[in-house]
Amino acid sequence: MEELKTKQQNTEAADTELPLDKTVRLMSPTRMVVRRFFRSKLSIVGLVMIVGLFLFSFVGPLIYTEWGEIELDESGKTEYSVSTTTYTVDGVQYTLHQTTEKSLKDNFLAPPSAEHILGTDNEGYDIFVRLMYGGRISLIVSFLAVFLITILGVLMGGIAGFFGGVIDNVIMRLCDVLICLPGIPILLIISTILDASNIDAKYRIYLLMIYLTFISWPGTARLVRGQILSLREQEYMVAAEAMGYSAPRKIFKHLVPNVMPQLIVSMSLSLGSMILYEATLSYLNLGVKAPYAAWGTMINIISTNQDILQNHLNVWVPAGICIVIAVLGFNFVGDGLRDALDPKARR
Amino acid sequence: MFKYILKRLLMSVFILLGVSMIIYFLIRLMPVDFIQDKINAINQGGATVSQETVDAMYKMYGLGDNSFLGILGGYFSWLGALVKFDLGTSFVYGIPVADVIFEHMGISFLIALVATVFEFLIAIPLGITAATHQYSFRDYLVTVLVMIGISLPSFFFGQMLKDVLALKLGWFPASGLIDATASYTGVQLLGDYLRHCFIPILTIVILSIGARMRMTRTNMLEVMNSDYIRTARAKGLKERVVVNKHAFRNTLIPMVTSLAGLLPSLFSGAIITEQVFDLPGIGNIALDAMNRGDIPFIMGYNMFLALLSVVGVLLADLMYGIVDPRVKLE
């Protein structure tokens, strides 16, 4: 509708000479970014994936209340096993077929049905519901980690870039050390330390991710520092200096907002890698532990159980697909944002 | 130049000191107790171990004192041995840590090397086509496919390939490095190795193509927009020559620089992939050592990784100065 109006205005402008600001539609930079973002099909696909996963994980359990996260299906299951023995008596061969019926309490490894949309796992938990709860953990944990990493990174990078000198040197050397720490091995070590401190299985993954932020902030700090070093020489910073603004005001009101574009892109891309991190830790049985659900934990079972790996794809493949959708979604959105925020990449 | 290298090397020593301190303290806080496990094993065998022997064992392994000062002392004795190029003796294997690392590094290195070669061979042409056909269907197709590759968790994709290619189709062995039932020699043995390594390498290649392809594409796009490309086109050169000779050569600067950055990943071993396929590479050995509390080995392995990444960063910077004459190192 608005575009039509502009067109009309344009044709009118050709006839009667209106001042420039009436003939040209003004667009704020934010709006231009949003428009460029939505022009790319991939970023829309990514956004749909992420919003879909959010609804699935957070609204899903409210609607689909058949089963809970740690609710076993105790409807029972009968297992039949047949054993055959052959023996020879007086030259005649006899074969004995013996069927054993075993009644088990839990209905585990049930195939997909109306009752269990994706069946049940080896314990008897409903897989579909556990996917939802696993999604909650993955999304909350990765958002939390990225949020903390960004805060710490902006703070340290901002201080280092703005003040320079000794402070810069100390912070950057600390960054060098932390960047050299091998990521997965260190998290494995921290995770075993957490095992000993008797933390509730529900909260240990949060604690683990907080530790992860302590070794992951240098990347963001370097990015912020690099930007600030080049921005510091800009004329508006000289103006801010002349106005006599305080250092925090100059850093956080004048410099940091100008780093935001790069920061937003790196945040959305690292959301994807955080989900992978969490999933990997859970797969190694170091993240979220049983009985609670996480996507990585749901795949963990196949590393010891070949039967499930080969014959019960419904137990582990859906969790993997969820991880791929989440990471892919964040990567698409991050890419779209990068193109949209880059003033050079117009098309 | 010489002064710069010297300065960087000196700085690297301090970085490694900081890293080793953090890792050592974290490891000593680990609740996994190798001695206790060993004593339990002896007790299960029927023999009893006297308290004096237990204390002596703790003292022998240097783990007697778990107070802050005790750990600090342990750190310095580890550091003292390191100065003499001694990483200590592995608890589990009973041989020097350096020997364990070298013994298992070969297979990890071989897998990583082959995977890296294939990664370059596939990713670079893909990146070039995507860049020269920007925003076309081809560009989107390649981008989406490699993005899916980046987004796949290695354990999930590895298990999927294992399930389909090894267990369902039976084309390749599912795990391990050699066929235990057959005794091959010479060329046959090499073939057996390759058959076992095929799926792990395929997994690593598919997961890593994405980053390399996207890097090539970005660099290509940047170069394709520059003035000398317009000049080359204006001279009437064939598009093929413009792309392959004028444009691609200029994307080699960041490519060569990133080669040095590959150093750590070549030697460090892929922990997860090796775990999935049960390969006796260094990553898998390290994972096992961490579960068993083999402190000297964990320490040695982590320091090995840290050293590789310090050297990798240094080499990348030096390489940048050599390849790009505009960059001056000081």
- Give residue for tokens 């076309």: B136
Query: Residue A271: closest CA among chain B residues belongs to which residue?
Result: B151
Distance (Å, whole) CA B63 – CA B80: 16
pLDDT at A329: 92
Query: Residue A272: closest CA among chain B residues belongs to which residue?
Result: B151
Q: Evaluate the omega torsion of the peptide bond into residue B264 and state whether it is cis, within 30 degrees of 0.
A: no
Over the stretch B75-93, which tens digit does the pLDDT of each residue have?
777 777 777 777 777 777 7
Distance (Å, whole) CA B137 – CA B100: 50
Over the stretch B237-266, which tens digit does the pLDDT of each residue have?
888 888 888 888 888 878 877 787 788 788
Inter-chain touch B30–A193, beta carbons under 8 Å: yes
Q: Is the minimum CB–CB distance between B170 and chain A shorter than 8 Å?
A: no
Q: A-contacting residues of B 30-59, CB under 8 Å?
A: 30-32
Distance (Å, whole) CA A193 – CA B289: 15
Nearest to A96 by CA among A87, A106, A109, A104: A87
Q: What are phi and psi of A133, to 5 degrees?
A: -70, -35
**If you ran DSSP here, which 8-state letter would residue B238 be given?**
-
Query: How crowded is residue B270: how many other Cβ atoms within 10 Å of its Cβ?
Result: 26
Q: At how many degrees (to 10) do helices A313-341 and A256-283 cross?
A: 170
Distance (Å, whole) CA B190 – CA B194: 6
Q: A103 forms bridges with which residues in the sheet? A: A78
Q: A101 forms bridges with which residues in the sheet? A: A80
Any idea where the domains of chain B sit in the sequence? 107-292
Burial class of residue A92 (count of CB atoms within 10 Å of its CB; 0-12, 13-18, 19+): exposed
Alpha carbon of A279: minimum distance to chain B alpha carbons (Å):
8
pLDDT at A52: 92
Looking at beta carbons, which residues of chain B come within 8 Å of A332?
Answer: 147
Nearest to A99 by CA among A119, A78, A114: A78
Give the β-pairing of A92-104 and A77-89: antiparallel
- The token duo for A118 is 């994706």
Residues 6+ apart with CB under 8 A from B147: A328, A331, A332, A335, B210
Q: What are phi and psi of A102, to 5 degrees?
A: -125, 125
* Contact in structure between A205 and A137 (CB atoms under 8 Å): yes
Residues 6+ apart with CB under 8 A from B198: B172
Of B14, B31, B163, nearest to A195 by CB-CB distance is B31
pLDDT at A347: 46
Q: What is the mean pLDDT of residues B205-213?
A: 89
pLDDT at B63: 65
Alpha carbon of B186: minimum distance to chain A alpha carbons (Å):
32
Distance (Å, whole) CA B198 – CA B108: 13
Is residue B58 very low, low, confident or very high in pLDDT (cuts 50, 70, 90)?
A: low
Distance (Å, whole) CA A223 – CA A156: 11
Distance (Å, whole) CA B34 – CA B139: 54
Inter-chain touch A180–B156, beta carbons under 8 Å: no
* Contact in structure between A301 and A121 (CB atoms under 8 Å): yes
Distance (Å, whole) CA A305 – CA A298: 12
Q: What angle do CA B203, B205, B209 make, to 5 degrees?
A: 130
Coil, strand or helix at B210: helix
C-alpha distances (whole Å) from A78 to each of A74, A110, B83, B122, B329 are: 12, 11, 65, 52, 74
pLDDT at A298: 83
pLDDT at A146: 92
Looking at this protein, which amino acid is placed at residue A98?
A: Q
What is the separation of C-alpha B310 from the centre of its chain, rounded to a whole number of angstroms?
13
Is residue B7 very low, low, confident or very high in pLDDT (cuts 50, 70, 90)?
A: confident
Distance (Å, whole) CA A297 – CA B13: 39
**If you ran DSSP here, which 8-state letter would residue B242 be given?**
I
Run of H or E residues at B168: none
Of A180, A303, A324, nearest to B148 by CB-CB distance is A324
Alpha carbon of A332: minimum distance to chain B alpha carbons (Å):
8
Alpha carbon of A9: minimum distance to chain B alpha carbons (Å):
32
- Most confidently modeled range among A265-269, B65-69, B180-184: A265-269
Looking at beta carbons, which residues of chain B come within 8 Å of A42?
Answer: 140, 143-144
pLDDT beneath 50, residues of chain A: 1-2, 13, 347
Coil, strand or helix at B316: helix
Over the stretch B285-304, which tens digit does the pLDDT of each residue have?
888 888 777 788 888 888 88
Burial class of residue A290 (count of CB atoms within 10 Å of its CB; 0-12, 13-18, 19+): middle
Coil, strand or helix at B251: coil
Q: What angle do CA A278, A280, A281 make, to 5 degrees?
A: 65
Distance (Å, whole) CA A234 – CA A256: 14
Beta-carbon pairs below 8 A across chains A and B: 127
What number does CATH give the domain B107-292? 1.10.3720.10
**Residue of B137, B155, B159 to mutate for A, most A C-beta atoms under 10 A:** B155
Over the stretch A150-200, which tens digit does the pLDDT of each residue have?
999 988 888 888 888 898 889 888 888 888 888 888 888 888 888 777 777
Inter-chain touch B15–A173, beta carbons under 8 Å: yes
Q: Is the minimum CB–CB distance between B141 and chain A shorter than 8 Å?
A: no
C-alpha distances (whole Å) from B100 to each of A122, B103, B281 are: 38, 5, 11
- The token duo for B154 is 């290695």
What is the separation of C-alpha B202 from the centre of its chain, rounded to a whole number of angstroms?
16
Q: Is the pLDDT of residue B152 over 80?
A: yes
Distance (Å, whole) CA A15 – CA A288: 69
pLDDT at A149: 92
Is residue B32 very low, low, confident or very high in pLDDT (cuts 50, 70, 90)?
A: low
Inter-chain touch B151–A331, beta carbons under 8 Å: yes
pLDDT at A230: 82
Inter-chain touch B135–A189, beta carbons under 8 Å: no
Q: What is the mean pLDDT of residues B162-186?
A: 75
- Most confidently modeled range among A29-33, B164-168, B219-223: B219-223
Query: Residue B221: closest CA among chain A residues belongs to which residue?
Result: A345
Q: Is the minimum CB–CB distance between B112 and chain A shorter than 8 Å?
A: no
pLDDT at A50: 92
Inter-chain touch A332–B140, beta carbons under 8 Å: no
- The token duo for B152 is 């796949």
ipTM: 0.82
Alpha carbon of B185: minimum distance to chain A alpha carbons (Å):
30
Looking at beta carbons, which residues of chain A come within 8 Å of B140?
Answer: 41-42
Q: What angle do CA B240, A343, B325 make, to 5 degrees?
A: 55
Alpha carbon of A5: minimum distance to chain B alpha carbons (Å):
30
In the 3-class helix/strand/coil scheme, how is B102-126 assigned residue by residue? HHHHHHHHHHHHHHHHHHHHHHHHH
Q: What is the pTM of this model?
A: 0.82
Inter-chain touch B160–A320, beta carbons under 8 Å: yes
In the 3-class helix/strand/coil scheme, how is chain A assigned residue by residue? CHHHHHHHHHHHHHHCCCCHHHHCCCCCHHHHHHHHHHHCHHHHHHHHHHHHHHHHHHHHHHHCCCCCCCCECCCCEEEEEEEEEEEEECCEEEEEEEEEEEEECCCCCCCCCCCCCCCECCCCEEHHHHHHHHHHHHHHHHHHHHHHHHHHHHHHHHHHHHHCHHHHHHHHHHHHHHHHCCHHHHHHHHHHHHHHCCCCCCCHHHHHHHHHHHHHHHHHHHHHHHHHHHHCCCHHHHHHHHCCCCHHHHHHHHHHHHHHHHHHHHHHHHHHHHHHHHHHHHHCCCCCCCCCCCHHHHHHHHHCCHHHHHHCHHHHHHHHHHHHHHHHHHHHHHHHHHHHHCCCCCC
